């Protein structure tokens, strides 16, 4: 009889929870990998762990509330001790593409004020070069076609993300345009180029924000820390 296999995402997410200590303000990521961390933290809170969380999406907020995790917003704290989140792709320099779950704006705000950010998931998220996963770009609805045209000029091969035949709306009421660059040779340059386009709110390139990667390869953990230069 086969034993029940624990998903790799769960193994890595629960390993990241070992870094959470009493009194911390914790960033709560969005996506299937991050959900495992939220559920584990909920269990630890019920067992006596004292933390406060800042969620990166309405979906995560609902899950955290259901798990009994006390939540705050940035009116109560301008920094976060540690964030646990997932990624759609992560390279050897710990740069990432995020936003498959359409929460990239809040995820980047949270990451930008996190003293530490641990990225979790399975080993399949590790890539040599970013770009195989479509790069999400969050844009305001007004004039989105203008932004779309500018992304085409960057060879982004953009697609407007739809939901039931209508433009998908983010938590902030914006649209998502997915760009198919296939291989991104200079992520930092491209991040800046995209964010200079009027109408772009944010894009899913996360550069120098991950401080530790914990990916699971079966039951084995692949751990890497970002070198501070």
Q: What is the pLDDT of residues 108-151, one digit of tens each?
A: 999 999 999 999 999 999 999 999 999 999 999 999 999 999 99
CA distance 175 to 82: 29
The share of the chain scoring above pLDDT 90, in percent, equals 95
2 pLDDT exceeds 50? no
Question: What is the average pLDDT across 199-208?
Answer: 98
Q: Yes or no: say if 99 and 106 are a contact pair by the CB < 8 Å rule.
A: no
CA distance 185 to 35: 31
- Is 65 part of the annotated catalytic residue set? no
Longest CA–CA span in the chain (Å) reads 59
Say if residue 9 is exposed, middle or buried (CB neighbours under 10 Å; 0-12, 13-18, 19+): buried
CA distance 175 to 58: 16
For 117, how many CA atoms within 13 A lie in the half-sphere containing its CB? 26
CA distance 146 to 148: 5
Q: Say how many C-beta atoms besides its own lie within 10 A of residue 28's C-beta.
A: 27
Quick one: how far is CA 208 from the chain centroid? 13
- Residue 5's pLDDT band (boundaries 50, 70, 90)? confident
- Residue 201's pLDDT band (boundaries 50, 70, 90)? very high
**Average pLDDT score, the chain:** 96
Of residues 125, 115, 108, 132, the one with CA closest to residue 191: 108
Secondary structure class of 61 (helix, strand, coil): helix
34 pLDDT exceeds 70? yes
Q: Residue 58 corresponds to which tokens in the numbers above?
A: 């309405």
CA distance 207 to 176: 20
3 pLDDT exceeds 80? no
H helices within 80-226, ranges in order? 104-112, 144-153, 187-195
Which of the following is catalytic: 8, 35, 89, 107? Answer: 107
Phi and psi torsions of 15, nearest 5°: -65, -40
For residue 4, the model assigns a pLDDT of 57
The share of the chain scoring above pLDDT 70, in percent, equals 97
For residue 1, the model assigns a pLDDT of 39
Q: Residue 227 corresponds to which tokens in the numbers above?
A: 């070198």
Q: Residue 176 corresponds to which tokens in the numbers above?
A: 């998502």
For residue 227, the model assigns a pLDDT of 75
Q: Yes or no: say if 86 and 118 are a contact pair by the CB < 8 Å rule.
A: no
């Amino acid at each position: 009889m086969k034993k029940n296999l624990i998903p790799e995402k769960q193994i890595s997410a629960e390993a990241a929870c070992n870094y959470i200590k009493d009194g911390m303000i914790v960033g709560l990521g969005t996506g299937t990998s991050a959900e495992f961390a939220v559920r584990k933290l909920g269990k630890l809170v019920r067992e006596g762990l004292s933390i406060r969380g800042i969620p990166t999406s309405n979906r995560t907020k609902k899950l955290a509330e259901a798990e009994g995790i006390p939540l705050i917003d940035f009116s109560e704290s301008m920094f976060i001790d540690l964030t646990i989140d997932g990624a759609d792709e992560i390279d050897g320099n710990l740069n990432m593409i995020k936003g498959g779950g359409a929460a990239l704006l809040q995820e980047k705000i949270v990451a930008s004020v996190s003293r530490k950010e641990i990225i979790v998931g399975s080993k399949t998220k590790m890539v040599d070069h970013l770009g195989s996963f479509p790069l999400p770009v969050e844009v305001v609805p007004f004039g989105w076609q203008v932004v779309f045209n500018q992304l085409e000029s960057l060879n982004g091969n953009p697609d407007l993300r739809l939901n039931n035949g209508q433009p998908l709306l983010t938590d902030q009421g914006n649209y998502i345009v997915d760009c198919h660059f296939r291989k991104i040779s200079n992520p930092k340059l491209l991040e800046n180029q995209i964010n200079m386009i009027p109408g772009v709110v944010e894009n899913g390139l996360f550069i120098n924000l991950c401080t530790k990667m914990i990916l699971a390869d079966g039951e084995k953990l692949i751990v890497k820390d970002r070198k501070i230069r």
